[in-house]
């Protein structure tokens, strides 16, 4: 997983540098997120959802711009305005967070979406849509990691690094929502060419 994430960040950064400031602003934002590895989209989504204080899943332009400008991503103010208005084509004055995040995530086949959902559902014993550290430790198969297999790192070290992905941009409580889990694996998916290999990876990681 670590090699895949490094490859994802490097490839996305190269594409970003090649494109410069040209092209669709949403595609560029996606590349900016992916250049930060698998957590770029996850952290952005978490920021947007935390800004949604009233639970409507809608953000007005000021809230939307605030999130983008404080995300640490290399997005200009003009690009931020362009992205908002592209999603607010009907001039409603707000953007739906779920619609926005679905567009920012790299495209995935239905089979990839389904295996991500299957992994999450297997661990979510209470059905409340939130995974605890205990859920993840029970579900995530550390022994499939090449650094564990080679004896270079312990099970605890590998698991702690895995959990650190989900603690970026949030209090380190170790809790992972369905949306955050999907954001993370949508980014990982972007570095995997075939559905078969992605399916195999998820099945090995989560003992499906």
Residue 175 pLDDT class (50, 70, 90 cuts): confident
pTM: 0.71
Reported as a single tens digit per residue, the pLDDT across 112-125 is 999 999 999 999 98
| Residue that finishes a domain, picked among 50, 84, 104 | 104
Statement to judge: residues 10 and 72 lie in one domain: yes
**Contact between residue 68 and residue 83 where contact means Cβ atoms under 8 Å apart:** yes
Reported as a single tens digit per residue, the pLDDT across 71-122 is 666 677 788 888 888 888 778 888 888 888 888 888 889 999 999 999 999 9
pLDDT of res. 173: 67
Query: Which of the two residues, 24 and 88, has the higher pLDDT score?
Result: 88
Give the least confident one: 12-21, 39-48, 72-81, 128-137.
12-21
Statement to judge: residues 72 and 149 lie in one domain: no
Statement to judge: residues 177 and 94 lie in one domain: no
Domain range enclosing 30? 2-104
Statement to judge: residues 14 and 98 lie in one domain: yes
CA dist 29 and 33 (Å) reads 6
Statement to judge: residues 100 and 124 lie in one domain: no
pLDDT of res. 64: 84
Nearest-10 crossing angle of helices 39-51, 61-69: 140
pLDDT of res. 7: 65
CA dist 68 and 64 (Å) reads 6
pLDDT over 60 (residue 128): yes
pLDDT of res. 119: 94
Statement to judge: residues 121 and 85 lie in one domain: no
- Mean pLDDT confidence for 29-51: 78
| Residue that finishes a domain, picked among 80, 104, 128 | 104
| Residue that finishes a domain, picked among 62, 82, 104 | 104
- Give the CATH number, domain containing residue 137: 1.10.238.10
Statement to judge: residues 146 and 200 lie in one domain: yes
Mean pLDDT of the chain: 80
pLDDT over 80 (residue 194): yes
Which residue from 19, 53, 59, 47 is spatially nearest to 35, judged by alpha carbons?
19
What's the structural domain count of the chain? 2
Which residue pairs, CB below 8 angstroms and at least 24 apart, start in 62-65?
64/95
Statement to judge: residues 97 and 158 lie in one domain: no
pLDDT of res. 25: 73
Residue found under tokens 């959990």 = 163
Statement to judge: residues 58 and 81 lie in one domain: yes
């Amino acid at each position: 997983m670590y090699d895949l994430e490094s490859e994802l960040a490097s490839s996305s950064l190269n594409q970003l540098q090649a494109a410069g400031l040209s092209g669709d602003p949403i595609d560029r934002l996606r590349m900016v997120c992916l250049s930060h590895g698998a957590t770029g989209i996850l952290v952005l989504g978490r920021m947007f959802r935390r800004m949604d204080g009233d639970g409507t899943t809608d953000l007005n332009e000021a809230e939307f711009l605030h999130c983008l400008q404080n995300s640490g991503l290399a997005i200009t103010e003009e690009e931020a305005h362009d992205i908002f208005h592209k999603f607010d084509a009907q001039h409603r004055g707000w953007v739906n967070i779920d619609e926005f995040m679905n567009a920012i995530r790299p495209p995935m086949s239905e089979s990839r979406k389904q295996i991500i959902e299957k992994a999450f559902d297997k661990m979510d014993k209470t059905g409340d849509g939130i995974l605890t550290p205990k859920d993840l430790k029970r579900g995530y198969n550390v022994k499939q990691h090449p650094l564990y297999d080679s004896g270079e790192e312990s099970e605890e070290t590998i698991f702690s690094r895995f959990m650190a992905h989900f603690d970026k941009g949030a209090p380190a409580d170790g809790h992972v929502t369905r949306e955050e889990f999907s954001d993370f694996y949508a980014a990982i998916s972007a570095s995997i060419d075939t559905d078969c290999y992605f399916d195999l990876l998820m099945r090995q990681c989560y003992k499906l």
